[in-house]
């Protein structure tokens, strides 16, 4: 047995993380994952601050899916305080959330294609993603940290001219994406490096608690939290899933989810046109404890918090999807014939390390010791 360290700084890693691959010959048999290079303590920084400041910090938990964090933060406060937001705001949140999902999935696919040396497809994906980034900038005013959600609704409305532009750009985007997906689906190099590689069977998903496209690529459509969201239920959302459980299935789930997101945006805009009134209400924040979950591009994201009357954050806990999917990665190694395949299996889970680093493990005399964080829900 030999051990190969990958990272914390490595060309295939978007963020710092160390993977110690255990090899039998050239075949990976196990991995030890070491984090802790980008822990920023955002939860602790939020404590004692007003939730209007907290929502800005929530947006900085992740640089790629920043929007869904502010949406989940706002909906958790609205749930605790029993604030009903206007219908217009509900549909605009769906539009922006799905635009973010599209751009995140396209980055994930581009990075995966780079890991299997298909640079042309990666460049095509990043190029078509620009159409979506332009739409996000037009609606919210920004491309990354959008600052669009507020407690009680959203910050800016859209007009007829903007809606026409969204419909027009989505038509162009959909046409270009079809060609890209066809190349991925039929490419012999992609099949050679993706099909039957990094398999996560259905019965092992339950052991690993994997979430998001990783879970749905192994046959669990009910893992999509959009099924439980009242606005998505109005839009008749149907989850995308596959049974193969390999790298190819995970990437195809993301591609097909992009198509479903385009449909959801069009449907949400149709319902938005039938609405009247404002895009937000004056929020009266009441004290209490609560929990809210949403489906981020990588899977389930959870916010648990306790606030005072008026909105001071007493305690907050954030759980992001990658922490569960990293555990699933160890099971995928059983069907990775080489180190190169272990790398592509890692990128197929679309890891986001910065937003994952939420926990601290204290070790004394070589043993883990419990940490009292005074979190009681």
Per-residue pLDDT, 182: 95
CA–CA distance, 48 with 336 (Å, rounded to integer): 47
Please tell me the pTM assigned to this model. 0.93
Q: Of 288, 356, 340, nearest to 76 (Cα)?
A: 288
Query: Is 345:332 a contact under the CB 8 Å cutoff?
Result: yes
Residue 292 has a CB neighbour count (10 Å cut-off) of: 20
CA–CA distance, 227 with 13 (Å, rounded to integer): 32
β-strand pairing of 149-150 with 299-307: unpaired
Per-residue pLDDT, 374: 46
How is residue 312 annotated by DSSP? B
Query: Is 89:153 a contact under the CB 8 Å cutoff?
Result: yes
Residue 281 has a CB neighbour count (10 Å cut-off) of: 16
Per-residue pLDDT, 154: 96
Query: Is 319:291 a contact under the CB 8 Å cutoff?
Result: no
Query: Is 252:231 a contact under the CB 8 Å cutoff?
Result: no
User: From the first residue on, what is the mean pLDDT of each consecutive set of 10 residues in the chain (377 residues)?
Assistant: 85 84 89 84 90 92 91 96 95 97 96 92 95 96 91 95 96 94 93 93 86 94 94 94 94 96 97 93 92 95 94 92 87 90 92 76 64 46
Give the torsion through C-alpha atoms of 333, 334, 338, 339, to 10 deg.
20
Per-residue pLDDT, 33: 87
């Amino acid at each position: 047995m030999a051990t190969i360290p990958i990272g914390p700084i490595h060309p295939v890693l978007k963020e710092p993380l160390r993977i110690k691959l255990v090899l039998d010959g050239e075949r990976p048999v196990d991995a030890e994952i070491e984090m802790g290079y980008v822990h920023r303590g955002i939860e602790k920084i939020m404590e004692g601050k007003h939730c209007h400041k907290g929502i800005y910090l929530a947006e900085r938990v992740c640089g790629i899916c920043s929007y869904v964090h502010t949406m989940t933060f706002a909906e958790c406060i609205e749930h605790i305080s029993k604030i009903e937001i206007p219908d217009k705001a509900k549909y605009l949140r769906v539009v922006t959330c799905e635009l973010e999902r599209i751009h995140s999935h396209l980055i994930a696919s581009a990075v995966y294609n780079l890991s299997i040396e298909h640079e042309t497809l990666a460049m095509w994906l990043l190029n078509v993603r620009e159409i979506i980034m332009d739409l996000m900038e037009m609606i919210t005013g920004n491309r990354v940290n959008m600052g669009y959600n507020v407690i009680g609704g959203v910050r800016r409305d859209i007009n007829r001219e903007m809606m026409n532009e969204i419909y027009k750009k989505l038509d162009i985007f959909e046409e270009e994406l079809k060609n890209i997906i066809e190349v991925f689906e039929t490419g012999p190099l992609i099949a050679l490096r993706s099909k039957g590689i990094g398999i996560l069977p259905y019965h092992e998903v339950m052991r690993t608690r994997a979430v998001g496209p990783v879970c749905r690529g192994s046959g669990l459509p009910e893992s999509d939290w959009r099924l439980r969201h009242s606005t998505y239920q109005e839009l008749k959302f149907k989850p995308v899933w596959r049974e193969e459980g390999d790298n190819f299935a995970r990437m195809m789930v993301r591609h097909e989810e992009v198509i479903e997101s385009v449909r959801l945006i069009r449907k949400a805009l149709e319902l938005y046109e039938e609405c009247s009134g404002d895009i937000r209400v004056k929020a009266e924040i009441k004290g209490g404890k609560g929990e809210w979950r949403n489906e981020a591009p990588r899977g389930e994201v959870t916010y648990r918090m306790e606030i005072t009357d008026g909105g001071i954050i007493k305690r907050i806990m954030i759980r992001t999807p990658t922490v569960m999917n990293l555990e699933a990665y160890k099971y995928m190694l059983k069907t990775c014939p080489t180190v190169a395949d272990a790398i592509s299996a890692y990128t197929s889970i679309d890891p986001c390390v910065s937003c994952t680093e939420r926990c601290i493990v204290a070790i004394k005399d070589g043993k883990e010791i419990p940490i009292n964080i005074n979190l009681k829900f």
